Structure 1
Amino acid sequence: MLTAFARAFKTPDLRKKLLFTLGIIVIYRIGTHIPIPGVDYRAVQVCIDQASTNTGLFGLVNMFSGGALLQITIFALGIMPYITASIILQLLTVVIPRLEALKKEGQAGTAKITQYTRYLTVALAILQGTGLVATARSGALFQQCQVANQIVPDQSIFTTVVMVITMTAGTACVMWLGELITDRGIGNGMSILMFISIAATFPSALWAIKEQGSLAGGWIEFGTVVAVGLVMIGLVVFVEQAQRRIPVQYAKRMIGRRSYGGTSTYIPLKVNQAGIIPVIFASSLLYIPALIAQFSGGTSDWKAWIERNLAQTDAPTHIVLYFFLIIFFAFFYVAISFNPEEVADNMKKYGGFIPGIRAGRPTAEYLSYVLNRITWPGSLYLGLIALVPTMALAGFGANQNFPFGGTSILIIVGVGLETVKQIESQLQQRNYEGFLR
């Protein structure tokens, strides 16, 4: 593996891409530590040191920002607005005929949809930035912190507007950095920045588990968590790479004196066809009631019920709803992202057929049947992986930043595999040996 890395850096153009990607990553990490104007940095650090952060409500966004959210830096929102905008545009493509037509136009249509995604990202950044500033001003960003109300000393309208504009500009800058990596670096830029944001929280989270442990100075808990994490990484790699290959045969055609077709291929249907999207959907949906209860004034029975059953991640009601929402969104996203009828029509148009299955409607029904069967284990796998942090809270006494589980491990493994494949393809064009032997 070290030899493969050495070969990658010996190739001039590949070395430039790798160094450019590393440079953008350094700039991104520097930006996550620069506080925005109007924030008392010392008060923020005092509240963070007291470990009283409300990670149950803001944990997902804080993870995607590499810990910048709770420190209220210029990159506090991270890439979460872009992820949300991309998901919304992807869902609207199925609903709005105009967007569906743009998607079918090829590169020009994709560029137009990307432009819409940028506009929506800025709008969401303004909305989320306003919510974060309001939360910081009220002191609700940190619980049981004596100086929580002193995080934003100047609560004038001008200061608030400057803070929101700064975070919005930071989000636009993060989006630009991600697109630079995609164009001039290695891998998908947004995925790389997401990978770095999550990986940056691993050392502190692991060390916090060690500090909170009581057996042999916390080293037993630390070693157990690392061992469980390695096992989970192996399981996630196995499931993420698993796929059902449906064989497809193309009929031979004679055009003039030449014959075309007659080849055999397959349709790869992944076990986890939906990826990480169902977990993000389920987390976001469960955060909405807790967010409404937090900003509603006074005390009431419904607010107390939400804080007791939905705001607490280890509550039985939260666990059950979270699990079933992941299963529901897994089937929902697969249904809107993979169209068996369109695939069957394309196969029929080019003379392809599945052996033993008639072309047309029978092929679409067969694809739907297979897709539903493999989505069940994929959705159950997502639900179980997402619940690992909650089980860690009870089993190890770990904090809510337990690294090996849920959204973090799925993104780490998925982006890592995709980046390795891209480097491998670059090396195969020159050395024909691959990245990993």
Structure 2
Amino acid sequence: MRFLHTADWHLGRVYHGMPLLEDQAHVLRDFVRLAAELKPDAILIAGDVYDRSVPPADAVKLLDEVLAELVLGLGLRVAMIAGNHDGPDRLAFGSGLLARAGLTVRGPVEAGAEPLLFDDAHGKVAVHLLPYGEPALVRAALPLAPAIAVKAAAQGTQPKGRPAMGQPAMGQPVMSQGELFPSAEAAPDLANQANPVDPAESSAPSEAAAPRIADHHSALAAQVAAARARQPAGARSVAVAHAFVIGGSEAESERPLTVGGSGSVGAELFDGFDYAALGHLHRPQQIGSPRIQYSGSLLKYSFAEADHAKSVSLVTLGAPGELQVERIALAPRRDLRILEGRLDELLAAAASDPARQDYVLARLSDDGALLDAMGKLRTAYPNALAIERSLLQGEGGAHRGGDHRRMRVEDLFAGFYREMTGQALGEGAAAVLAEVVQRVEREARQA
């Protein structure tokens, strides 16, 4: 089986005030041409299809056009899941009808979701769609997930030391569903370990069957356990998920799933899958094993990604244990890059720069004040998005790491003045500033 793995399209994204929809349409036209050339058995889109939960109308229109070309025009099967940027219910609108045409959309987490099945020369392949879900929503959607199965999934283990999915490890027999997923009632001690119950709740009849889903790891573990329960014996298995797997490399454009690190999940959740097609991290990368891969985003979506090489992954599943992953580069309409140097040097170099239409961040090393630096830069680079001063990295920019909302206005202005001029605000100017701030605050209180 061959399929294209892609993710993080972020349709409708606006960066530094610049709408990127035309750039997205350009690269998606190339993606459709690539799909027509390769004729894969499926296209898997691993979440963050849109950039926000209520996408703009033109982003919805673009997605409709692309999916129509892939599914109706080329006759390809496409499956996509919701990511943390997507509104799951909106993304899944009409999914019951669309599935008949070959487009499977999994928005909210659902109990009883069946895998997509494919056949090739080596047998069956089951593709399990595991959309992003906040722990509370997963708890509500999967209230009867077997506790022992959730614990085993969370630990990356299986009862009796057997492989995690229906496809056995080399030389091992295939397990029955009963072996792989013993009931929680049959193993009360393990169930209770996986699901500690408050004393006040000890009389609840379903305490052993309802695991505690408290973070993203246990939430995804519950989905994995449900998927394993529906894995056909002997079939190879593919998971499509949207998560921050521990060990991955982040960029600033990836919205944190939670605060404090509880949004991460362990790679062991995907033990036993022949391939895990992941979304969320924007740099193409594998996590440990070649079986666990992020395809990366469609385009560079922040200057932190300036050194990324964007691509889609062509994945070939052969006989059990055989896997090939080829990254195919995507060519953007405009690159996103960082220029460094003095402003006059950058303006002079632009005359011989063939890519002046790129989106650029200029890191300027000039000393002293610069008048209308952005206006001058845009005469050479019309799509310049931002300017940074090298002084920001020095002593004068130290305040950038703090919470600006807790700083005095006088300190903020003094820091800004130092960053722009490279000089400290004089005592006389500081006194005038303090007087102005006091007057404005007094007038605001009296208003």
TM (normalized to structure 1)? 0.25
Q: Which has the higher strand share?
A: 2
Relative contact order (C-alpha < 8 Å, sep 6+): which is higher?
A: 1
Q: Which has the higher helix share?
A: 1
